[in-house]
């Protein structure tokens, strides 16, 4: 597995990381812990050194899973986790008050069974707490040795600039894929200018870009996609044109649709490290194989030209979640 550097930092990780959220949160009931630990070990055997989790996934149980799985690999892998979203009465509440961040970091360190968090993200910008204050608290945690690098998830460019002035950011996390290219407009130029890495989640469009979801697909109550507009049957059907495009290129290259979708993300910038998630070994192997897929300059030109003519139907978040991004 090739390595990539996140921005100007010296945090070097595998070109493709592993998003662990779906193992216990967001995509139906939690999977068997023993099986998921085994899957994480399989990822390490195949060269993955970058693992993503968060305090709120579960909540807590995903960090516990990742901590247990990675305990034998201390110092050999990088763990990213997140603070800033609390669960209250079954609802997600934004909370990045300094006392809460300090409490969160201690909980995450304990659950992850580590002394230092490699990459600590603010999960969503808290409008009630100035980003400079958040950055100051994280800077203190870095001085204390509890955190090595920090980042923001789904933040707007002005917030990124303000945070970066207090303490340099290593990475920004956001959704990014052939289905959601908005980060290219404002975010990418700022990341390039400031020397910040980019960690896209949902690089496979929450599974849609694998080509295995059609208009007859159903999602359980505990699957986040059940409330996502993009996954309404009529939008799935409308977006099939994108799948048709990807499948044609995949067939020409002798690879899978998922591999084309991930290879496209990797080809956009050398400082991008996608973190597709999975619960299955065959999907893990397929995803990691994308690092070997070569898209030529002409391939990318043709692909981007075709993508620019496709209008994606359906929002990526329901309204309640959409108003928390880009702050």
Residues of the chain with confidence (pLDDT) below 70: none
Q: Which CA distances in Å does 165 have to 118, 169, 188, 271?
A: 20, 9, 18, 20
Tokens of 16: 């493709």
CA 122 to chain centroid: 13
Question: For the segment 208-261, what is each residue's pLDDT rounded down to a tens digit?
Answer: 999 999 999 999 999 999 999 999 999 999 999 999 999 999 999 999 999 999
Domain ranges of the chain: 3-322
- Please give the pLDDT value at position 90: 87
Q: From CA 302, how far away is CA 58, in angstroms rounded?
A: 41
Contact 60, 51 (CB under 8 A): no
Catalytic-labelled residue, pool 27, 57, 121, 149: 57
Sign of the four-CA dihedral 81, 83, 88, 93: negative
pLDDT at 79: 98
Coil/strand/helix, residue 102: helix
How many other β-carbons are positioned within 10 Å of the β-carbon of residue 266?
Answer: 21
Q: How many CA atoms does the CB half-sphere of 270 hold within 13 Å?
A: 8
What confidence score (pLDDT) does residue 260 get? 98
Alpha-carbon gap, residue 228 to 41, rounded angstroms: 31
**Dist. CA 290–CA 58, nearest whole Å:** 29
120 is catalytic: no
**The pTM is what?**
0.97
Evaluate whether 122 touches 93 at the Cβ level (below 8 Å): no
- Residues 67 and 111: beta-carbon distance below 8 Å: yes
If we measure between CA atoms, which residue out of 209, 211, 205 comes closest to residue 228? 205
CATH topology of domain 3-322: TIM Barrel (3.20.20)
Condensed to tens digits (0 to 9), the pLDDT of residues 171-216 reads 999 999 999 999 999 999 999 999 999 999 999 999 999 999 999 9
């Amino acid at each position: 597995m090739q390595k990539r550097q996140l921005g100007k930092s010296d945090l070097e990780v595998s070109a493709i990381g592993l998003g662990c959220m779906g193992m216990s949160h967001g995509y139906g009931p939690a999977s068997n812990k023993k099986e998921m630990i085994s899957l994480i070990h399989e990822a390490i055997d195949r060269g993955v050194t970058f693992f993503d989790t968060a305090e709120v996934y579960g909540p807590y149980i995903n960090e516990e899973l990742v901590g247990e799985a990675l305990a034998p690999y201390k110092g050999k892998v990088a763990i990213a986790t997140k603070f800033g979203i609390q669960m209250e009465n079954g609802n997600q509440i934004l909370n990045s008050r300094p006392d809460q961040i300090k409490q969160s970091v201690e909980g995450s360190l304990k659950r992850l069974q580590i002394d230092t968090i490699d990459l600590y993200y603010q999960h969503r910008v808290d409008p009630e707490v100035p980003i400079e204050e958040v950055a100051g608290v994280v800077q203190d945690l870095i001085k204390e040795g509890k955190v090595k690098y920090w980042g923001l998830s789904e933040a707007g460019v002005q917030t990124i600039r303000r945070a970066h002035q207090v303490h340099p950011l290593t990475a920004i996390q956001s959704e990014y894929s052939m289905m959601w290219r908005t980060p290219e407009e404002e975010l990418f130029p700022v990341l390039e200018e400031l020397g910040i890495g980019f960690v896209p989640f949902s690089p496979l469009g929450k599974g849609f870009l694998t080509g295995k979801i059609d208009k007859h697909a159903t999602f359980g109550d505990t699957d986040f996609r059940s409330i996502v507009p993009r996954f309404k049957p009529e939008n799935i059907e409308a977006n099939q044109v994108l799948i048709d495009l990807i499948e044609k290129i995949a067939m020409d290259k002798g690879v899978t649709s998922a591999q084309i979708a991930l290879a496209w993300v990797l080809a956009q910038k050398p400082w991008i490290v996608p973190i597709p998630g999975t619960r299955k070994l065959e999907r893990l192997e397929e995803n990691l194989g994308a690092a070997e897929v070569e898209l030529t300059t002409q391939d990318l030109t043709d692909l981007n030209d075709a993508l620019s003519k496709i209008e994606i139907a359906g929002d990526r978040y329901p309204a309640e979640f959409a108003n928390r991004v880009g702050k």
